[in-house]
Structure 1
Amino acid sequence: MQRQGSIGGSAVIRIRATGIVLLVAHLLFVAWCTLRPLDVPWVMPTNLHPLDGIRADLRLGRPEAARRIGGALGLLAPLGVLLPLAHGRLRVAPLASFVRTVTAGALLSLGIELLQTGVPGRVMDVDSLLLNTTGVALAHAAVVPAARGWLRRRSERRQLRAMRAEESAQGRTPTIPRVGIAP
């Protein structure tokens, strides 16, 4: 039995399988990028003051600030699309989907930041948590509502074509002309 709001038949399996495979691949990439030890002579102290690291990046100049802030925004941004894709539902409340996705992204980012405390050369940075979560939120808001709308319209057109094909295969339904009332 199919859940309400799901895509029909084998399409839901293909979409979910694709979403899960891409999600696992992205998470492995994120783990490789963020949890491998760095061989550095010194390490910056832990940043627990929100926006201090962003301000420091902005003082470095435009290209370096864009690289650092953009990298933090983009690191987990694909989760904003991959998590709903792995879920595989078309008809879901947009706000609920957004909140679930952003919460999952924030928790994953927090987990990464906490794991980094045990990796040589890595420290916890609250600004990374903020930027990663913002990246997930922006990606979800930019892509998921439009993609779900497109997939819903496509699914509805496909269902309409199937109904018309079934109707034409069965032939037209005979109509009985109305007979007037006898005097």
Structure 2
Amino acid sequence: MQHHPAAPIGPGVSPRVRVAALGLLAAYLLFVTWLALRPLNVMWVSPANVEPFATIRADFARGPAEAARTIGAGMLRMAPLGVLLPLLGRRLGGARFASLCRTVFAGGMISLALEFCQSLVPSRVADVDSIILNTLGVAVAHQLAYGRLRALVLRGPRPSPRPSVRRLAPRHGHTRGAAPGGGPMRQARRTRTWVPPIRADEAPALSGRG
């Protein structure tokens, strides 16, 4: 039984890129965790916010500049995860929508864990709006970077040029196609057999035979 080799798998993220993305992700998460959990010297802290969009509405009430600053900072806090998390998968987490769902879910879980740890620090408070803005920033960064990442790391090897085929002219006396009767054209020549004529005096003798 003859075994055929398996079809080659398409191009994917190289192991070096995945290891580099893992190292950058670990370093960035350590930096963000240090910023989020370091103690602050404050006189008092506001209570934790568990109502969605309450802090965002308060920022808009302070003015457009204050809202843009706080919302932009909240979205940029986890935005690099939208680029680094897809690079951990061999195929960037699948198609665009599947990769977006996986990346947003992972980014939301990381942001939720940070907010929970902040609630344990006396000078920090948890805010559900921070989780919303962090997750939104991850989603926007993923959508902006996914097409570029796919073009850079999933680009397959260029196909080799096909060798030129030189067509030979048909030999003289041979034509392509089929015979008028519909069958294949015969290459061999037909031979004719010469039969001598019968004389009149030999006819009775031939008729009497047999």
TM-score (norm 2): 0.71
- 2:141 aligns with one of 139, 142, 145: 139
2:125 and 2:34 mapped to 1: Cα distance? 16
Determine the structure 1 residue equivalent to 2:187: 182
Separation of aligned partners in 1, 2:84 and 2:27: 11
Identical-pair percentage: 43
- After superposition, the CA RMSD in angstroms is 2.7
Q: How does 1:5-16 map to 2 (within 5 A)?
A: 5-7=10-12, 12-16=14-18
Match of 1:148 in 2: 150
Give the corresponding residue for 1:87.
89
Equivalent position of 2:27 in the other structure: 25
Q: What is the CA-CA distance between 1:93 and the residue it aligns to?
A: 1.9
For 1:135 and 1:144, locate their aligned partners in 2 and report how far apart those are by CA, in whole Å: 14
Correspondence for 1:98: 100
Aligned match for 1:114, one of 90, 113, 116: 116
Aligned to 2:47: 45
Larger radius of gyration: 2
What whole-Å deviation, never above 9, does each CA across 1:104-162 have from its counterpart, x for those lacking one?
Answer: 0010011001111111211110000100000001110111133213544xx33x331xx
Does the CA contact (< 8 Å) of 2:83 and 2:142 recur in 1? yes
Structure-2 separation of matches of 1:43 and 1:5: 54
1:159 lines up with 2:158 in the alignment: yes
How far does residue 24 in structure 1 lie from its aligned partner after superposition? 1.1
State the TM-score, normalizing by the size of structure 1.
Answer: 0.80
Given the superposition, is the C-alpha separation of residues 149 and 31 from structure 1 closer, same or farther in structure 2, using an over 3 Å criterion? same
Contact 2:92 2:99 in 1 (8 A): no
C-alpha distance after superposition, 1:57-96 (max 9, x if no partner): 1112222221111111000011011001122425822211
Q: Distance in 1 between matches of 2:138 and 2:11?
A: 23
Which one of the candidate residues 117, 128, 131 is aligned to 1:129? 131
Gaps of 5+ in 2: 1-7, 175-185, 189-210
Alpha-carbon offset, residue 15 of structure 1:
1.1
Quick one: distance in 1 between partners of 2:133 and 2:93? 29
Give the length in aligned residue pairs: 169
Q: Could you say if the C-alpha distance between residues 90 and 125 of structure 1 is closer, same or farther in structure 2, counting changes exceeding 3 Å?
A: closer
Whichever structure has more helix as a proportion of its residues is: 1
C-alpha distance in 1, partners of 2:93/2:30? 29
Higher RCO by CA contacts (8 Å cutoff, separation 6 or greater): 1
Distance, in Å, in 1 between the alignment partners of 2:26 and 2:48 is 29
Q: Is the 2:52–2:128 contact (alpha carbons within 8 Å) kept by the matching residues of 1?
A: yes
The residue number in structure 2 matching 1:66 is 68
